[in-house]
Structure 1
């Protein structure tokens, strides 16, 4: 740094400081992740080499405006009080942003084992929930104080090093300033045109991919690429061929297609006498199958769920379609595969879609969505409200206009015993649903309810005195409280006159984490699903591989309903069912069949793997053309139907 003796001394000092700090952050994350990453020593150099390129791009992005300022600043103003205040203030603020981003990267990595992505972009939008969550999860005053103190210290060290003095006292000719600026601008433009986040994703190890990236760069990349056009970025089949293929995949003995060509609209016919119970679906936040003793957990944190799993119908081999709540909602309401980018819940033009709610409403049921927080978050109220569901949520943000087409009820303060950043505790949301069910039963109405819980989410807080693990101490505590609340819910509704004719579904929206050494860590999509109190159904386990999207086709088959369907989901118990599941990240779409899967990625990439379920081991294999055709047909047609309005049957 001392060798730089020109007007750009502060700028070059900032770049050097950023590169050093980013190197240290990357090294710390590598040490943190290495034991479970599956990386080898050969992976380390590419991580730091690529990381340096990304970091250089970020440092140029931060400094290019200041470089332009230094270019046009007249020499007579270079050593003035104005320039000193401007330079010190700008340096301090930019460095504080960098320091805060590095702190945020550690918290984000702890939650998701990755650099910033679409989730971070979402969290920037929903400031109340996120700031409250951070405040309840971490000692925020100390952390902010630490960021400010660190920024002050580094600014002082830079000043002590003489960078500011050399910049203010320099007498650099305009020609040299122009040449310096043009070099910096050229490097930035070259970086923008030739480097993208996909470069980091060439590694076969997911941890290596994420460690190569830079947090700020990944955040901007995610913001600019929030939605992905399947027909632009992914491998394509002839569209007619794709629809022919998917119609063959969805064909079951009781199904008859109602339209030809580019449609999956079909009638499902059952000749047995239909049973029409009320249905309450409890969608459990972040609930992995391996929390339950049935799937190997030894901590006894789900005694209630393990008990009802033995009494009901348990899917032992079901997989979530994604890693976010809205992705689970999409699968459980629309029964469609995930398409790249945001969940349909978050997209425009997502109203009046064919859904589980529309099937129940056609049979005379009232459909209601229950959420313990503010349903404006993640566009939930607008999605459910404009697809025929009534809304019951906390309604803390009274000024928010969700533009919903149905009734909305708020959970009053008097009905709340505990609340955190994400909403009321699970017991409170269950009480709201019980109250609604009582009212509908008294009015002679049948009901279909979608309950979304929130307690099993960081900061993992819940009412004290309920379980033997202190509130806010661990994920295990939140899981145990979640299970406890389910027990209280069942205890209350078993006394209700409507209980005997009510099916209760317990299913996860997604797993607690999705990170692993593989691009798609299949085991981290394994979720529990229990159908409880199904009329005439003996306790059983369904071991066939299936997806969240198969839940309602299977339940309606058990109830012997005849209905029209636009679902990609299938009745898992139907003769000839072919096991498969769809799992995804925001960009990678995987189609899973027993023992193998194919991953579709941007830039028209597709790669096939063998999958050892017992060891959760993926190994690349030669292209399996049949598997690839199944994956392409499923994802391509789902994207086409949503884009062209074909999901609005």
Structure 2
């Protein structure tokens, strides 16, 4: 009788056997721990629990097969006559230590990632790999990094000890297994890895109605590499389509508001007409990091987190039903500046060929405005400098080194050491960002040219650190970071009111996305609600606007208040002119594309499928309903057309 273990793990592969057992056991423990952590959001079912564990083991085994196929190359190719010599021992111990260290780090990192996103590793983790400074500093400031590394090293040494007790090292060295003996086990792992690569997709783990269970059924490492391969998704390949001409026509008609005129049959170029004398005040746009609507007292929060912002909202045109398009800062930037529905995969901010686009900046350019992007960190992060710089904006940021400061050929200003009183992994604190903005605005004012400044804050982000003593709260929690962000904004406005340009300046405040996006459903609708306001508008009374709208609509609405007439290639509309039947919001993550009208929501998925739901605002739940043909066609039309126009360069300025 053939012993399967002996067949798959000959003596030369003894260390691989030890690692395999360790990997599968630890993977299962991580899954079980995350399950217990999230039990309140799951609702326990013994049947579903068994399925989660079973599917999870399946994907863990697939992950292991990839590791064995790659790691096993050395064990397969190394000649038997050199087994146990000094080079073999050195390579064996070094590679095993490195492999175990990496995976212990990855397993521990899953808990941090789950706490932040309630997901297995996804495209966010892939993106973060490109920005090691920010990520490592963030970890260092959020957790005791030396202690964390020490724990990882100890756990790695523990794995070494277990392997040694099992005599895995001795068995690896003391044998005469040749290529023929090794070909069957190594070939097996290569075959399994090949099957997974060709036929198994990460999304096949998603068989549950509860999103937490779908995530827990996956393997973190497998999900990471699946996200790497799917960072950009071809709409035509993965999503429901309809004739492109039909989609474009639906979008063209939906974008035309009173007085507008379509100028092209190939895209959405049109003239926007507004009556009255054009006004050209300065515009300061403040994009608040992770500010959910429910942090404000205006939306029911009783913790007094944002007293200044709440007071400002009472004096502004305050939008109480505005939705973020996505769950990341670069999605917010894309929505605000490009005013486009979120296309699947990574944000356009990070994609190739994203230069000379028809952004909000082009409309401002038509009206004679200077345009500047302010960021307290290094704008190289997430390609922010590349996106803004290649679309007509000057840059003010805080590069980490001199080479970064010189890498982008645009009008770029950087923080001096004296201008930074406090910074963390993400850059200068909000107070320093505002102080720098005030200095630059005073310089801009001297040019007698209207200015548009996009200020991106960052304090309301882990590690939630800020200058001690600025507020009573201690740094380190989201609550304290929100209070500090509100305090810093109040100080900015106090100083701005003393400046000669203040009276002729409109302030727009909008969040980039909510603080939390996790939930049980495909898209957690309640986690896209963000505050938005326009303050200091000339000849406009304070008012609340409860129309359903998106981030993409806020600046086009401001242009309407200013009576601007202009040519446009953006999807954003003037909220003031929206009729009840026109109100809509785009909400998405990198795979699910949602379109909401009233409480009816259509969600497109990457398997060319769709679901229609009724959203209950009271308990933030989605109930599956019958498909609404017209709403489905409108959903497809917007997302398909947005993808096609970008792909075909129809969103470029010159087209």
TM-score range, shorter chain: over 0.9
The count of residues paired between Structure 1 and Structure 2 equals 647
Question: 8 Å contact 2:594–2:604 — kept in the other structure?
Answer: yes
Please give the secondary structure, in 2, of the residue aligned with 1:391.
strand
Matches of 1:120 and 1:317 in 2, distance apart?
A: 31
Equivalent residue, structure 2, for 1:311: 315
Matches of 2:586 and 2:22 in 1, distance apart?
A: 44
Equivalent residue, structure 2, for 1:95: 100
Matches of 2:406 and 2:443 in 1, distance apart?
A: 25
State yes or no: 1:622 paired with 2:643: no
Superposed displacement of residue 404, structure 1: 4.5
Equivalent residue, structure 2, for 1:559: 562
Q: Which stretch shifts more, 212-221 or 483-492?
A: 212-221
State yes or no: 1:586 paired with 2:565: no
Query: 59, 76, 89: which is aligned to 2:81?
Result: 76
**Distance change (3 Å), C-alpha of 1:246 and 1:162:** same
Matches of 1:390 and 1:75 in 2, distance apart?
A: 63
Superposed displacement of residue 175, structure 1: 3.1
Deviations 1:10-37 (A, max 9, x none): 2122111100010001100111111123
Question: 8 Å contact 1:22–1:55 — kept in the other structure?
Answer: yes
State yes or no: 1:26 paired with 2:31: yes
**Distance change (3 Å), C-alpha of 1:74 and 1:419:** closer
Superposed displacement of residue 465, structure 1: 0.8
Question: 8 Å contact 1:370–1:391 — kept in the other structure?
Answer: yes
**Distance change (3 Å), C-alpha of 1:402 and 1:621:** farther
Equivalent residue, structure 2, for 1:62: 67
Superposed displacement of residue 575, structure 1: 5.0
**Distance change (3 Å), C-alpha of 1:309 and 1:220:** same
Equivalent residue, structure 1, for 2:545: 542
Deviations 1:191-213 (A, max 9, x none): 22221111122322211111111
Q: Which stretch shifts more, 66-75 or 627-636?
A: 66-75
Deviations 1:543-594 (A, max 9, x none): 0110000001211112211111111111111152511100111111111111
Equivalent residue, structure 1, for 2:246: 241
Equivalent residue, structure 2, for 1:327: 331
Superposed displacement of residue 177, structure 1: 2.0
Matches of 1:76 and 1:475 in 2, distance apart?
A: 60
**Distance change (3 Å), C-alpha of 1:402 and 1:480:** same
Q: Which runs of 5+ in 1 are unaligned?
A: none
1:405-554 to 2 correspondence within 5 Å?
406-471=410-475, 473-554=476-557
Question: 8 Å contact 1:375–1:381 — kept in the other structure?
Answer: yes
Matches of 1:67 and 1:326 in 2, distance apart?
A: 40
Equivalent residue, structure 2, for 1:194: 199
Q: Which stretch shifts more, 433-442 or 290-299?
A: 433-442
**Normalising by the residue count of structure 1, what TM-score does the alignment of the two structures yield?**
0.97
Superposed displacement of residue 174, structure 1: 4.3
Matches of 1:647 and 1:401 in 2, distance apart?
A: 29
Deviations 1:77-133 (A, max 9, x none): 334443333323222221111101011111111111111111111111011111111
1:198-347 to 2 correspondence within 5 Å?
198-260=203-265, 262-347=266-351
Question: 8 Å contact 2:420–2:432 — kept in the other structure?
Answer: yes
Matches of 2:186 and 2:652 in 1, distance apart?
A: 54
Equivalent residue, structure 2, for 1:135: 140
Question: 8 Å contact 1:39–1:208 — kept in the other structure?
Answer: no
Please give the secondary structure, in 1, of the residue aligned with 2:51.
helix
Please give the secondary structure, in 2, of the residue aligned with 1:535.
coil
Please give the secondary structure, in 1, of the residue aligned with 2:612.
strand
Question: 8 Å contact 1:317–1:544 — kept in the other structure?
Answer: yes
Question: 8 Å contact 1:313–1:532 — kept in the other structure?
Answer: yes
Matches of 1:372 and 1:468 in 2, distance apart?
A: 23
Question: 8 Å contact 1:37–1:516 — kept in the other structure?
Answer: no
Matches of 2:377 and 2:385 in 1, distance apart?
A: 11
Matches of 1:385 and 1:70 in 2, distance apart?
A: 50
Superposed displacement of residue 321, structure 1: 0.6
Please give the secondary structure, in 2, of the residue aligned with 1:399.
helix
Q: Which runs of 5+ in 2 are unaligned?
A: none
Matches of 1:125 and 1:569 in 2, distance apart?
A: 31
Query: 18, 22, 26: which is aligned to 1:17?
Result: 22
Please give the secondary structure, in 2, of the residue aligned with 1:286.
coil
Please give the secondary structure, in 2, of the residue aligned with 1:451.
strand
Equivalent residue, structure 1, for 2:385: 381
Superposed displacement of residue 405, structure 1: 5.3
State yes or no: 1:150 paired with 2:161: no
Superposed displacement of residue 228, structure 1: 1.0
Superposed displacement of residue 466, structure 1: 1.1
Please give the secondary structure, in 2, of the residue aligned with 1:464.
coil
Matches of 2:215 and 2:26 in 1, distance apart?
A: 17
Deviations 1:437-480 (A, max 9, x none): 21222221211110001111111111111111112x20001000
